[in-house]
Amino acid sequence: MALSAGIQAFEARVVRPALQEIVDSPALDRDYQASLLDDAYCDFSDPIDELIQSLRKAIGRPAGMTLALSNRVRPAGIAEIGGHYVVSVVYREEDRVYASPGVMFWMKFNNKLHAFDHRYDSAIANLPIEDITRKHILDHVLTSFDFYKLYAFADRPFPGYR
């Protein structure tokens, strides 16, 4: 699905520079392989693509740029799709264009993929793209990736899981 000119401008101005900063991080590079993928990425033989396509299906809204992080060393005995984290910017167009982050990764405790439909600002359900900043993008990735590192390979469900 082609993204509107407004979304493309937002991604070029805010999303790409913020996510590229993460991809270029030398500290992250020690333990994770980072990739920045545009909305047209598609390689059905790749676990990252499986995560992206599953996330888009679960969220049910158009997605744009995606940050993919893969553990350089994957724990033994995990599923093939395990050890990968993706976060995409997902959009909703109404009277304005709104964006939010969607996250997906496999979790060991139940051997399933988990999709998370988040917000850039927890107090605002519908945040217009004009109000989203580099800080929103970076803060969300830091928080959700910390959650991934804490719980993806845990034997028990994360707090609040039903």
User: Residues of the chain with pLDDT > 90: what percent?
Assistant: 85
Q: How many domains does the chain have?
A: 1
What is the span of the domain harbouring residue 127? 5-151
pLDDT tens-digit series, residues 91-120: 999 899 999 999 999 999 999 999 999 999
pLDDT tens-digit series, residues 39-80: 666 665 689 999 999 999 999 998 899 999 999 999 999 999
Tell me whether residue 162 is in a domain: no
pLDDT tens-digit series, residues 124-146: 999 999 999 999 999 999 999 99
The 8-class DSSP code of residue 128 comes to B
What is the predicted pLDDT for the residue at 40?
61
Tell me whether residue 159 is in a domain: no
What is the predicted pLDDT for the residue at 3?
83
What is the predicted pLDDT for the residue at 10?
97
CA dihedral (112, 115, 135, 10) positive or negative: positive
- CA 128 to chain centroid, in Å, comes to 18
Phi, psi of 77 (to 5 degrees): 75, 15
Tell me whether residue 17 is in a domain: yes
Where does the pLDDT of residue 28 fall: very low under 50, low under 70, confident under 90, or very high at 90 and above?
Answer: very high
Q: Are 22 and 85 in contact (CB under 8 A)?
A: no
- CA 117 to chain centroid, in Å, comes to 10
Please determine, for residue 151, whether its predicted confidence score (pLDDT) is greater than 70: yes
Tell me whether residue 160 is in a domain: no
pTM for the full model? Answer: 0.93
What is the predicted pLDDT for the residue at 161?
87
Tell me whether residue 27 is in a domain: yes
Please determine, for residue 25, whether its predicted confidence score (pLDDT) is greater than 70: yes
What is the predicted pLDDT for the residue at 22?
97
Tell me whether residue 62 is in a domain: yes
The 8-class DSSP code of residue 11 comes to I
Tell me whether residue 158 is in a domain: no
Average pLDDT over the chain, rounded to whole?
Answer: 93
CA distance to 6, 60, 108, per residue, from 105 (Å): 29, 17, 10
Tell me whether residue 161 is in a domain: no
Q: Which residue has the higher pLDDT, 102 or 161?
A: 102
What is the predicted pLDDT for the residue at 91?
95
